[in-house]
A = this chain, B = another copy of it.
Amino acid sequence: MREVFQQELREVQERLVEISGFVAVSIENATRAFNESNVSLAESVIADDDKIDAAAQELDELAINILARQQPVARDLRIVVSALRISASLERMGDMAEHIAQLARYRFPDKVVPKSLRPTFASMGALDVEIARKLVELLKSEDVAIAEDIRNTDDKVDALHLSVFDKVLGETWKGEAIDTVDATLASRYHERFADHAVSIAKKVQYLATGDWIPADA
């Protein structure tokens, strides 16, 4: 029984790794679609989000099923409950990638943000991609050093997020209302994407250190 349970826990972990891999591809494509106004790539990101949602739902079914059959306690129970929360965060990360792609599609053939902000969003996108790839590694290896790394990378995203508002609200901003709306939304989506990764990283960290997982972590 115990061995079966360990095998099932491995399957839960493998599925989380798989879903995080889907999310990494989505943010990579969403970032490219955003930077290059690539509408067909944007549409593929939007289509792929259903795949992420379905995979997250299947994982939840598996986790509930394990709870029912194996009745885990203590740390084992917290691992399964954490898996449910991690899948919810991954599902939201997929939504953020989809929103970024939708902005690219709405504005096509125009670019989403004016020239002056493109380097900032290129950096934010690159950092989100970096975070997503680190998250795959973290879920694979459960190496808490990667969790720390994700939190540090998120700090860079937050700094860029603030810099977007400095620019948009600064003297030199010449953007139209639509540019201001897009910059505001795009920055928010990039920031939230990274936040969800941090919340997953904290859960992995807490599990590894045996601490409890705050609801807002």
CB distance from A8 to the nearest CB of B (A): 16
CB distance from A172 to the nearest CB of B (A): 11
CB atoms of B169 and A177 under 8 A apart: yes
Secondary structure type dominating chain A contacts: helix
- Residues of chain B with a CB closer than 8 A to A168's CB: 177, 181
CB distance from A44 to the nearest CB of B (A): 19
21 pairs from A and B in contact (CB 8 Å cutoff): A53-B215, A56-B215, A64-B77, A64-B81, A67-B77, A68-B73, A84-B84, A84-B85, A85-B88, A88-B215, A91-B215, A91-B216, A168-B177, A169-B177, A169-B178, A169-B181, A180-B184, A181-B184, A184-B184, A184-B185, A188-B188
Scan residues 45-86 of chain A and give those whose CB is less than 8 A from a CB of chain B.
Answer: 53, 56-57, 59-61, 64, 67-68, 71, 73-74, 77-78, 81, 84-85
